[in-house]
């Protein structure tokens, strides 16, 4: 079996997933540009390790790719020798890491450029916010390669763009350019070419300045509430609201607004 989740022999390729800390923001860089940041077992294990080892001082993460592309998806070189059992465990190893990322302690913002394809799009979909620059393009070439998504794409992508659009992408090989992709919900922000990382950093700094409990309640609460019957959702919401507002930080922020020193809500010139 080649899956690192079912086998301890996979060594995380830490040199291919670099980490840097800038204040409360940690930057995780996919660093395998020769292969367009295609994800093999070692690289996926390294993403998992970088997430697991985030320091307590991290309030938000930016995930981005080195070189001309965000990520070319699964390293197809690994696929040729994999049997059905290996394939099952391989998928589960991706689920494990992407769940750690999606259901971790802090929000993760993906900065997207160039190819965001196959497993690269599945990785981006597990992040909480996505910023695309105008060079980004989105595709699911699995259909044309005779395979299927295996990194949680069939669960996460229909929630972003709708099952009918994902079906189209996989059946016909349709590629969305950045503007059209953002228009259908692949990402929340569109910026000029070369500016995705800067915009993601700016957003991450803002996110990291929120009360940690509010961020935690958002990334853990909202997706779960969306899956619950309304009656359960109301109860979950009320509990998260109670928890967030009881934190000392919330009290201090509310007091600051009431005494005139806290920020007011302002219209921003750009989203
Ligand atoms: C790769 C991969 C890869 C590049 N696996 N080696 N993903 C795909 O089907 C996408 C396949 N890749 C491409 O379509 C193109 O490479 C790109 C559009 C992403 C970039 O094009 P370009 O012209 O910048 O680069 P390139 O010349 O195609 O590739 C440079 C090298 O990276 C080359 O290797 P080299 O040794 O000849 O230099 C490519 O073979 C290699 N490379 N992409 C392996 N994906 C959990 S299941 C998820 C299932 C999937 O993700 S399926 C979709 C896989």
107: Cβ below 6 Å to ligand 1? no
User: What is the 171 CA–ligand 1 centroid distance (Å)?
Assistant: 20
Question: What pLDDT does residue 90 have?
Answer: 92
Question: What pLDDT does residue 268 have?
Answer: 77
- The pLDDT-based confidence of 6 (bands split at 50, 70, 90) is very low
On the question of pLDDT at 267 being above 90, the answer is: no
Residue nearest to ligand 1 atom 48, measured at CA: 119
Mean local confidence (pLDDT), 35-43: 97
Catalytic residue among 16, 53, 78, 122: 122
- The pLDDT-based confidence of 131 (bands split at 50, 70, 90) is very high
Which domains are delineated in the chain?
4-208 (3.90.226.10), 212-258 (1.10.12.10)
Question: What pLDDT does residue 2 have?
Answer: 40
Pocket test for ligand 1, best of 31, 47, 66, 72 (most atoms within 8 A of CB): 72
Alpha-carbon gap, residue 150 to 172, rounded angstroms: 18
Give the tens place of pLDDT for each residue, 236-256.
Answer: 999 999 999 998 888 899 999
Strand runs labelled E in the chain: 17-22, 25-30, 60-65, 108-112, 115-117, 129-133, 137-139, 176-177, 189-191
Question: What pLDDT does residue 270 have?
Answer: 63
141: Cβ below 6 Å to ligand 1? yes
143: Cβ below 6 Å to ligand 1? no
Catalytic residue among 16, 78, 102, 142: 142
Nearest to 182 by CA among 192, 172, 173: 192
74: Cβ below 6 Å to ligand 1? yes
Q: Which two tokens stand for residue 245?
A: 């507002």
Question: What pLDDT does residue 1 have?
Answer: 37
Regarding pTM above 0.85, the answer is yes
Residue nearest to ligand 1 atom 41, measured at CA: 35
Give the tens place of pLDDT for each residue, 177-211.
Answer: 999 999 999 999 999 999 999 999 999 999 999 99
User: What is the 44 CA–ligand 1 centroid distance (Å)?
Assistant: 16
On the question of pLDDT at 5 being above 80, the answer is: no
- 186: burial class by Cβ within 10 Å (0-12, 13-18, 19+)? buried
């Amino acid at each position: 079996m080649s899956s690192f989740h079912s086998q301890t022999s996979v060594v995380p390729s830490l040199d291919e997933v670099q980490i840097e800390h800038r204040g409360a923001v940690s930057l995780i860089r996919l660093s395998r540009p020769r292969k367009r940041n295609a994800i093999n077992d070692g690289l996926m294990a390294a993403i998992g390790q970088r997430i697991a080892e985030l320091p307590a001082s991290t309030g938000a993460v930016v995930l981005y790719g080195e070189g001309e592309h965000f990520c070319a998806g699964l390293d197809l070189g690994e696929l040729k020798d994999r049997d059905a059992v290996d394939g099952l465990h391989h998928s589960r190893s991706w689920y494990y890491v992407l769940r750690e990322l999606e259901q971790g302690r802090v929000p993760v913002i993906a900065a997207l450029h160039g190819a965001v394809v196959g497993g690269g799009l599945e990785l981006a979909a597990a992040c909480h916010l996505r910023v695309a620059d105008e060079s980004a393009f989105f595709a699911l070439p699995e259909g044309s390669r005779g395979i299927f998504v295996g990194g949680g794409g069939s669960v996460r992508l229909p929630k972003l763009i709708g099952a009918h659009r994902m079906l189209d992408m996989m059946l016909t090989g349709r590629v969305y350019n950045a503007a059209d992709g953002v228009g259908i919900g692949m990402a929340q922000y569109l910026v000029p070419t070369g500016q995705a990382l800067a915009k993601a950093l700016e957003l991450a700094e803002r996110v990291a300045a929120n009360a940690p409990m509010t961020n935690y309640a958002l990334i853990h609460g909202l997706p779960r509430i969306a899956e619950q019957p309304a009656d359960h959702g109301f109860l979950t919401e009320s509990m998260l609201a109670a928890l967030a507002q009881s934190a000392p930080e919330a009290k201090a922020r509310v007091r600051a607004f009431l005494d005139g020193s806290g920020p007011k809500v302002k219209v921003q010139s750009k989203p």
